[in-house]
């Protein structure tokens, strides 16, 4: 079908149909969307669904540990899973730039199919648009995810209470540091890679282990751990105390951060979760997380406290104490 | 909040939160997405959902009769409605180019809110990413829609049978001709405008009027009427005979098409539907459509026939007969 994406691939006519049949259907396999009808039909039980949408614009398209295709699956699967839902279905919307090599597109679509299969979600609807050269940067992907929430589960970012434990499922900053290093032009050859991964199976295990002692799960993506914890503090009307020494950071990531002037607490993660559980369940939650490869470095890193609602305190490794705010200042664009 | 979109608006930090609170929440009103949690929670009855996704990249962003915001609502509402579903929820994912005037963004978001309100759908989740100058073209929007399908309804693009009537809800080519004219640089001042509109209320009335005598509904967007009818012929394994003289085309649209060398049968529509019903219900279906302003020019334009499966015949206005194929050749990029 030619070597590059052309405007004709987005026309809705014959070339579009060929792209869908010869690339998307083939690479996504069973996950391929039914493209003929205007919408897919899903059968659901009565109850609650979790729905989330995310557009992915990461630069570069392919990076150590993943690519925009796997990232687009993981990111949305994780957002749905953080609500305690079992993600079942995804939609995928592509905006392609004219001139994108079809090989690159094929590799990314194949990676999406693999990621969806591994996470156990099906891509049920799709859409492709093509814009001219210079009107996009290679390829953007939107994914929207739908999952089913167990009856009776009541978790959310506003549910943290004083006395609760705050846990993180692994090292901080891997994804952000990897993308920034890949883009830095410094020719860094650091042994780091993105943590991009689907959290849904681990999240579901946590829901089963902790029941309603689980207050909330959230994935610290853009804005990093600091921003995610600040959101918890504000939404729940509580303060949070973090222990810097307890926060796991890969030494190689730390090295890249020093070199590039980045703070791992503000860097995006794409396969990690922040968990708040009632105090008595902290050990059980840690054990559950550590039962998964993705959670092997899980650690308790802080506590919810009652004074100064909305405030996040960091007790530093050298014995100081400072306030953490949301990410401001130098933006890190196109990190996901 | 400044006059232009900056990279900081997409960082996930403070500037992102402000953009969401001060623009999206304000303009979308009740339709504003809950942005704090990772996913929205929806309560659904047991049964079938229709789900559709679409990315919108229309150029120009604002055109006679609509803009990318209203178009993004209508397009996805219609795709869900064509499955016979009642669209209830939308998600919205924005990719913004650095430097986009915030006034433009505000106008478009406000227009989305109005369109969603009028269609009776709620925007339940959203996402905003910002890319650098020259890495997108102003603004792209993905919408994903979810609707509930009535029990027992069984329609689809593969359900047409020989003997059925083929109906169109109004004039063909308005949206495509309007966008191409606006972009032509010819300074055309034609009295035409996009037909962009939500079809869900009219579609639901048709479902109620025709029951299972309704075979399918589809909206002829990219690729136009010809491509939509060809898809029906192929999916249902039938042939279709269209009467050119019966196909309504606005004279001003016809004029623009002649000037620009376009064929209205291949131009996108954004507020029209193709309907196939069993023969005996054709009049009832036409009456139902004509009861809506959007369907006032509804007409029966053809029949399903049994020979030559997959073939679409056009009996021309001058007494000839030709085969219609899907759109090929000169693409019309960024029409929606």
Does the distance separating the beta carbons of B39 and A85 come in below 8 Å? yes
Q: Closest CB to A7: pick one of B50, B124, B331.
A: B331
The tens digit of pLDDT for each residue in A157-182 reads 999 999 999 999 999 999 999 999 99
pLDDT in tens, chain B (336 residues): 469 999 888 877 788 888 887 888 777 755 555 445 678 899 999 999 999 999 999 999 999 999 999 999 999 999 999 999 999 999 999 999 999 999 999 999 999 999 999 999 999 999 999 999 999 999 999 999 999 998 889 999 999 999 999 999 999 999 999 999 998 877 667 789 999 999 999 999 999 999 989 999 999 999 999 999 999 999 999 999 999 999 999 999 999 999 999 999 999 999 999 999 999 999 999 999 999 999 999 999 999 998 899 999 999 989 999 999 988 766 688 999
Residue B179: what pLDDT? 95
Residues A75, A110 contacting (CB under 8 angstroms): no
Residue A36: what pLDDT? 52
Closest Cα of chain B to A108: distance in Å?
A: 18
Does the distance separating the beta carbons of A49 and B42 come in below 8 Å? yes
Q: How far apart are CA B302 and CA A280, in angstroms?
A: 70
- In sequence order, which residues have a C-beta less than 8 Å from that of residue A296 and are 6 or more positions away? A170, A290
Nearest to B28 by CA among B77, B102, B92: B92
Q: How far apart are CA A266 and CA A176, in angstroms?
A: 9
Name chain A contacts of B42, Cβ cutoff 8 Å: 48-51
Does the distance separating the beta carbons of B331 and A8 come in below 8 Å? yes
Residue B332: what pLDDT? 82
Reduced to 3 states, what is the DSSP secondary structure of residue B261?
Answer: coil
- In sequence order, which residues have a C-beta less than 8 Å from that of residue B200 and are 6 or more positions away? B77, B78, B80, B81, B86, B87, B119, B120, B121, B147
Does the distance separating the beta carbons of A328 and B13 come in below 8 Å? yes
Across the range A186-198, mean pLDDT stands at: 85
What's the per-residue H, E or C state across A152-180?
CCCCCCCCCCCCCEEEECCCCCHHHHHHH
Name, of A255-259, A303-307, B171-175, the range with top average pLDDT.
B171-175
Closest Cα of chain A to B190: distance in Å?
A: 24
**How many Cβ atoms are within 10 Å of A148's Cβ, its own excluded?**
18
The tens digit of pLDDT for each residue in B17-64 reads 888 878 887 777 555 554 456 788 999 999 999 999 999 999 999 999
Q: Where does the pLDDT of residue A44 fall: very low under 50, low under 70, confident under 90, or very high at 90 and above?
A: very high
Across the range A244-254, mean pLDDT stands at: 97
Q: Where does the pLDDT of residue A27 fall: very low under 50, low under 70, confident under 90, or very high at 90 and above?
A: confident
Q: Running DSSP on this structure, what letter comes out for residue A21? A: I
pTM: 0.95
Q: Closest CB to A142: pick one of B36, B55, B325.
A: B55
Q: Where does the pLDDT of residue A17 fall: very low under 50, low under 70, confident under 90, or very high at 90 and above?
A: confident
Across the range A189-200, mean pLDDT stands at: 92
Q: How far is C-alpha B326 from the chain's CA centre?
A: 18
Q: Which residues pair with A308 in a beta bridge?
A: none
Say whether pLDDT at A255 is over 70.
yes
Say whether pLDDT at A330 is over 80.
no
The tens digit of pLDDT for each residue in B115-128 reads 999 999 999 999 99
On the question of a cis peptide bond just before residue A258, with omega within 30 degrees of 0, the verdict is no
Does the distance separating the beta carbons of A10 and B327 come in below 8 Å? no
Does the distance separating the beta carbons of A44 and B157 come in below 8 Å? no
Q: Where does the pLDDT of residue A309 fall: very low under 50, low under 70, confident under 90, or very high at 90 and above?
A: very high
Average of per-residue pLDDT values in chain B: 92
Name chain A contacts of B79, Cβ cutoff 8 Å: 38-39
Is the ipTM reported for this complex over the cut 0.90?
Answer: yes
Q: How far apart are CA B153 and CA B191, in angstroms?
A: 40
Alpha-carbon distances, residue B56 vs A48, A123, A335, B61, B334 (angstroms): 29, 20, 22, 10, 8
Residues B67, B107 contacting (CB under 8 angstroms): yes
Closest Cα of chain B to A38: distance in Å?
A: 5
Residue A187: what pLDDT? 67
């Amino acid at each position: 079908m030619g070597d590059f994406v052309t405007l004709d691939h987005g026309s809705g006519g014959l070339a579009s149909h060929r792209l869908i049949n010869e690339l998307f259907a083939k690479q996504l396999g069973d996950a391929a969307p039914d493209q003929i009808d205007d919408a897919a039909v899903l059968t659901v039980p009565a109850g609650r669904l979790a729905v989330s949408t995310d557009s992915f614009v990461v630069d570069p398209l392919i990076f150590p540990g993943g690519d925009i295709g796997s990232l687009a699956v993981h990111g949305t699967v994780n957002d749905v899973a953080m609500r305690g839902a079992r993600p079942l279905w995804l939609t995928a919307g592509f905006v392609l730039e004219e001139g994108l090599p079809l090989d690159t597109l094929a590799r990314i679509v194949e990676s999406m199919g693999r990621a969806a299969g591994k996470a156990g979600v099906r891509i049920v609807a799709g859409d492709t648009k093509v814009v001219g050269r210079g009107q996009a940067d290679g390829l953007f992907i939107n994914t929207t995810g739908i999952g089913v929430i167990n009856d009776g589960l009541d978790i959310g970012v506003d549910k943290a209470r004083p006395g609760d434990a705050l846990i993180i499922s692994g090292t901080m900053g891997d994804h952000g540091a990897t993308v920034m290093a890949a883009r830095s032009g410094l020719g860094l050859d650091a042994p780091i890679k993105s943590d991009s991964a689907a959290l849904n199976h681990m999240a579901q295990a946590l829901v089963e282990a902790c029941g309603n002692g689980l207050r909330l799960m959230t994935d610290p993506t853009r804005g990093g751990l600091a921003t995610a914890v600040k959101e918890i503090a504000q939404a729940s009307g509580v303060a949070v105390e973090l222990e810097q020494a307890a926060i796991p950071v890969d030494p190689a990531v730390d090295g890249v951060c020093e070199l590039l002037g980045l703070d791992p607490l503000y860097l995006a993660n794409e396969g990690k979760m922040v968990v708040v559980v009632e105090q008595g369940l902290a050990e059980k939650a840690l054990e559950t997380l550590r039962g998964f490869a993705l959670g092997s470095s899980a650690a308790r890193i802080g506590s919810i406290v009652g004074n100064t609602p909305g405030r996040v305190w960091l007790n530093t490794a050298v014995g100081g104490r400072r306030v953490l705010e949301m990410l401001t200042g130098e933006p890190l664009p196109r990190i996901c």
